[in-house]
């Protein structure tokens, strides 16, 4: 299955967006009811931020913990090969099951990459 990026609401069809919202409501209800639901147990999310974003980092750390997983923060200066290698290189693939790249101009970068 090809990788899909969710950068804006326009990246999803109306049906996909509705499904996503319904699922989020279901998961929130499980959390409020105190139900233990850990589909991400033993999974790690690598988060690479070009610029610091406390709100995004904390939100993803809390979400991963609530779903049984773990989130690890990496800054570009923490990774000798830079953010691209840390987020998707072979080394990170052995430790992380997912990745979050936070960059304020990610949409413009994606558009440029698709034109190449």
C-beta of residue 46 within 8 angstroms of C-beta of residue 92? yes
Q: Tell me which of 15 and 97 has the higher pLDDT.
A: 15
The per-residue pLDDT for 102 is 59
Residues 17 and 59 both lie in one domain: no
Cα gap 45→55, rounded to integer Å: 16
Is the entire prediction scored with pTM above 0.85?
Answer: no
Number of residues assigned to the chain: 116
Cα gap 86→56, rounded to integer Å: 18
The per-residue pLDDT for 41 is 93
Q: Give the count of domains, the chain.
A: 2
- The CA dihedral of 109, 76, 93, 102, to the nearest 10 degrees, is -50
Residue closest to 47 by CA, chosen among 36, 39, 55: 55
Of 6-10, 28-32, 48-52, 98-102, the least confident = 98-102
What range defines the domain where residue 56 resides? 39-115
Task: Give the tens place of pLDDT for each residue, 99-112.
Answer: 666 555 555 655 55
Residues 69 and 96 both lie in one domain: yes
């Amino acid at each position: 299955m090809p990788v899909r990026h969710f950068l804006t609401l326009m990246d999803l069809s109306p049906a996909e967006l509705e499904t996503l919202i319904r699922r989020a409501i279901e998961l929130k209800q499980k959390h409020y009811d105190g139900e233990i639901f850990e589909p991400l147990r033993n999974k790690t999310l690598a988060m690479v931020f070009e610029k610091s974003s406390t709100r995004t980092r904390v939100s993803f750390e809390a979400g991963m913990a609530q779903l049984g997983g773990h989130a690890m923060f990496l800054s570009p200066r923490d990774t000798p090969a830079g953010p691209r290698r840390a987020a998707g290189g072979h080394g990170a693939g052995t430790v992380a099951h997912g990745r979050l790249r936070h960059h304020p101009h990610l949409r413009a970068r994606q558009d440029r990459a698709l034109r190449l």
